[in-house]
Structure 1
């Protein structure tokens, strides 16, 4: 289904775009999309504080971008083009300076995400696209979760009446050349190595296969990176591949999942790069920890990179970059990755 096809039906559910940390570039790149990509943003609306988003629109300079305050999410389809439709479910309690970490900024960012996730879970919006937030600001605000993924996981688990550990989710980073899914995300490297367990690797393969097969319209072919240099070199450099990763791959294959490996992590990403149509290629790489998987994806194209949370009972995407405090308020922030996230959200929701 094309982008145009998904945008021509006003009866479709709208897409919520959270403003992110108000001290960062999130509100600015949200405003830029509504100004510069009005056709593609039809049926979308911003979630955040009106004054914060109005300030962001003003920092873009000319042409001016009027702000339309919505009374409900459903009004998004009726919003005029080249305006910034805002549902004001977040209210600022104090001013937030550009580029400054604060509890107030963290609170606003978290409240927008919580509202949007609950709206998606109750079927009021088709998808959630999240602009960047700052993890230190979240912590300063007393939020118990280090980032979007964990916060959304908790909301989904609560909605389902279950525990977080029974709502497994995974982070996938994707651009035009590479997709990678992570076994663990926001934790120390030492803790991440402890998280490489049979159950975690197998769960990652199951979630990846289910989600990617639905996205691709065919069974996904997955590569699995090893933990150690040279994938352990037959146990010379560590036994994780022999004792944990390979058995998890075997269990996944027994379930019908097209998984292969473990492969040396310094070469498998190149083999999976833009490999569509190659008999020996892969649709995604399952990486064992955060930086192992994210460095190659971001190096190959952070401008169009998209973060997708797999395993949630809702569609959530986000840009593949952070709050960029050094650019906040300058009007120069690039919205390409956020636009790619909106496009991906439409595709997944459709």
Structure 2
């Protein structure tokens, strides 16, 4: 039984729908996809790119390039390439909610999501901070954001916080919860029996023994010692400026960065096109593209599908791993 994955294109006026069209032109032996989307938007993307599209009932089987099973989530207004309309915000959010609920109900095994335009969602009258938070709230769990490519995995202790607020957010309890979530996901989803996690310091040179800040001495090191006693293999805290050297990365399975721009610039420089965004801690795998809606590229057929291809392949592997572990 192949994993059954939800495919949510995201912002209908962006590149998400056409990337989904490119995705389904390739034969799949690792999963079956069920799109949660507006059918007219998908047809418009297929016409713009001159690609075949055959929309199928959701319980059918996709067999040919261009076949796509669909659960229709109609837009309020016909979408136009590059012109995001706040009136379609409710359809975008509904597609995400329906996909997440299908996984919670057990009818699907994972979710692959395209790019969503946060500002347009909020302009549509829906308070929205991100799909990661939306799916976590729906499932009633705490989650961790991880970005990954073929070179490195980077998990984040804090995500979209102003830099002046980061230090206050690095508490022992919060850091412990994050590391336990990462450790569990590496074992369950990635099949790593004894994952090695590199933990970055918050301050330059990991605090320089307290001369450049005391967060390492007062919070991070004592917490790491406690978790090592529980059996976790934790390295650090490491200075962020040298932790990503290739010879260092060879000894880790994942790097935990203390804040967004401490770890993600390195990951994106090392392979932005193949980078994906993974939500750890959900009851199911969720993998997203690591790029935006690119409204200026929509409908032109030049958007790079590499991140969506990588996200789908990884979500299929993670879902299969979970099914094996059941």
Query: Shorter-chain TM-score: which interval?
Result: over 0.9
- 1:196 maps to 2:165: no
2:112 to 129, 133, 138: 129
Q: How does 1:33-182 map to 2 (within 5 A)?
A: 33-35=23-25, 37-40=26-29, 43-61=32-50, 64-70=51-57, 72=58, 74-75=59-60, 78-157=61-140, 167-182=141-156
- Residue-by-residue CA offset, 1:311-339 (whole Å, 9 max, x unaligned): 11111011121112221111111111111
2:14 to 8, 24, 37: 24
How has the CA–CA distance of structure 1 residues 145 and 217 changed in structure 2, closer, same or farther, with 3 Å as cutoff? same
- 1:244 maps to 2:219: yes
How has the CA–CA distance of structure 1 residues 41 and 90 changed in structure 2, closer, same or farther, with 3 Å as cutoff? farther
Q: Distance in 2 between matches of 1:193 and 1:329?
A: 43
Q: After TM superposition, where is structure 1 displaced by more than 6 Å over at least 4 residues in a row?
A: none
Partner of 2:239: 264
- 1:306 maps to 2:276: yes
- 1:14 maps to 2:1: no
Structure 2 spans left out of the alignment, 5+ residues: 321-326
- 1:320 maps to 2:290: yes
Determine which structure has greater relative contact order: mean sequence separation of CA pairs < 8 Å that are 6+ residues apart, divided by chain length. 2
How has the CA–CA distance of structure 1 residues 203 and 189 changed in structure 2, closer, same or farther, with 3 Å as cutoff? same
Partner of 2:184: 210
State the number of aligned residues.
319
How has the CA–CA distance of structure 1 residues 41 and 348 changed in structure 2, closer, same or farther, with 3 Å as cutoff? closer
RMSD between aligned residues: 1.8
Partner of 2:304: 334
The secondary structure found in structure 1 opposite 2:72 is: coil
TM-score (norm 2): 0.92
Q: CA deviation at 1:249?
A: 1.1
Q: Distance in 2 between matches of 1:333 and 1:26?
A: 9
How has the CA–CA distance of structure 1 residues 273 and 136 changed in structure 2, closer, same or farther, with 3 Å as cutoff? farther
Q: Distance in 2 between matches of 1:297 and 1:217?
A: 21
How has the CA–CA distance of structure 1 residues 315 and 251 changed in structure 2, closer, same or farther, with 3 Å as cutoff? same
Q: CA deviation at 1:86?
A: 4.3
Q: Distance in 2 between matches of 1:184 and 1:101?
A: 29
Structure 1 spans left out of the alignment, 5+ residues: 1-8, 158-166, 276-280
Assess if the C-alpha contact under 8 Å between 1:45 and 1:84 holds in 2: no
Q: CA deviation at 1:106?
A: 3.0
Partner of 1:278: none
Assess if the C-alpha contact under 8 Å between 1:272 and 1:285 holds in 2: no
TM-score (norm 1): 0.86
